Amino acid sequence: MQYFTHRITDFPGGDKSFVDIPFVVGDDIERVEVSYLFPTGGNGCVIDIGLEKDGKSRGWTGSEYGHIWVAEDRASPGYRPGLLTGNWNVVLGIYHVGPDPWVDVQIRLIQRRKRWLAGELHSHTEHSDGGVMVGEAINRARNSGCAFLSITDHNATQQNHIRPDDPGILVIDAMELTTYWGHTNFHGLKDPVDDWRCRTPDDVPAKMAEAREKGATIVINHPFQNSPGGRWQCGLDVPFDAYEIWNGNWAPHNVQALAHWQSLLAEGRRIPATGGSDFHLKNRRRHGRPANRLHVQTHSVAGVLAAVRAGANVVCSAPDETMIEPRSGSPMFGESATNGEPLGFVAIGLAQGDNVHLITEAGTVRVIDCVTETQEIEATLDGRFLRFEIWRGDQPRLFSNPVYAI
């Protein structure tokens, strides 16, 4: 963190003037925070505050807030999120100068750092068939422990244009392309395609290519869903970034998706896996059940989607329950290691009787019966990949993406 303090005691313009405090934000910063204090009361001052970047205002809140912040995708009320790199000013509006005036200003520049974020990549609102308003969906996801939410309404994008601000959660613009030959989510764009209609199976990969060219992150949804339109029928020689192996409550179509993903990995394909609640009010599901625990490089929508594409993801039963992660020095899920290299992991949130499965292209090569809440795991990469599953009886708790052999 970079931290700067300023005490302002000189107000040459007097009442109804402005004082600028310049600072520079580099490309390693993910959040700008400003706090300020001045004497108030009957004989005090009235000092307003705002921010500008590169000569353009990024927000103004008068004298009502003592703490403000701005990030790439979220900001304090009254401030506009967006690109941070550039030349900034804290703008003080000197409404009234009292006797013995002063203003203390603290500027904190929070650097990007790697961390785990848990959230939801598949959900719906009343803009298709979700049954709840956008604001309620956001509130439900945040209350379920989600740090991010993708609202993937069927062939609809209006939810991306009218959603309310909520600085407490990252909300990802998205759409679920819903066709008669399968469904796929487009994440990261307000309007990923000009026209969603697919009249033939060949139109589906064409729409995927259009969305990919515009910058969407693409996930094939519930590939074995037991419905004519929900089942994926367009093959995997299409532009996509990840494959949904756990959709909603654990059911036979998820068993099939998991088995198919395993066969693809065994063939040598590197396909990141995701999960999603596929929340509709009528299906009695809850946001983040299952959740994606993503290892992000920065706390932003771009960071979340980059982690999806990289396979830096553990699909869990909930945002804050069972988890596994590499120990320091071991590669992250989605990364590579040398065959024969010793690897270390730790699983947490376990219950007595849980089973940790170590899986390669040969299938399950080792099972650990857990007796404590935390389990240290030593492993050696021996094959094309190594991944983990954690089961509680016949119910899954977790599926990790693989660590691959170089």
Tens-digit pLDDT profile for residues 214-266: 999 999 999 999 998 999 999 999 999 999 999 999 999 999 999 999 999 99
Burial of 161 (0-12, 13-18, 19+ CB in 10 A): exposed
Per-residue pLDDT of 105-140, as tens digits, reads 999 999 999 999 999 999 999 999 999 999 999 999
145 shares its domain with 189:
yes
98 shares its domain with 126:
no
Write the Ramachandran bin of 397: left for phi over 0, alpha for psi from -120 to 50, otherwise beta: alpha
User: Which pLDDT score, from 0 to 100, does residue 276 have?
Assistant: 98
The amino acid sitting at 226 is N
Q: How many domains are contained in the chain?
A: 3
In which element (H, E) is residue 89 found?
A: strand 86-96
Burial 203-239 (b: 16+ CB within 10 A, else e): bbbebbebbbeeebbbbbbbbbbeeeebbbebeeebb
77 shares its domain with 136:
no
CATH code where residue 93 lies: 2.60.120.380
Asked whether the beta carbons of 117 and 301 are under 8 A apart, the reply is no
Strand-pair category, 170-172 with 182-187: unpaired
CA dist., res. 34 & res. 76, Å (int):
11
239 shares its domain with 289:
yes
160 shares its domain with 224:
yes
User: Which pLDDT score, from 0 to 100, does residue 385 have?
Assistant: 98
CATH code where residue 403 lies: 2.60.40.2470
293 shares its domain with 329:
no
- Sign of the CA dihedral with 41 first, then 43, 44, and 47 last: positive
Q: Which domain holds residue 40?
A: 2-111
Tokens of 299: 């706390």
CA dist., res. 253 & res. 205, Å (int):
23
CA dist., res. 245 & res. 250, Å (int):
10
Per-residue pLDDT of 264-280, as tens digits, reads 999 999 999 999 999 99
CA dist., res. 382 & res. 359, Å (int):
10
296 shares its domain with 332:
no
Q: Is the pLDDT of residue 22 over 90?
A: yes
Q: Which of 271, 301, 321 is the last residue of a domain?
A: 321
Per-residue pLDDT of 353-402, as tens digits, reads 999 999 999 999 999 999 999 999 999 999 999 999 999 999 999 999 99
CA dist., res. 116 & res. 292, Å (int):
10
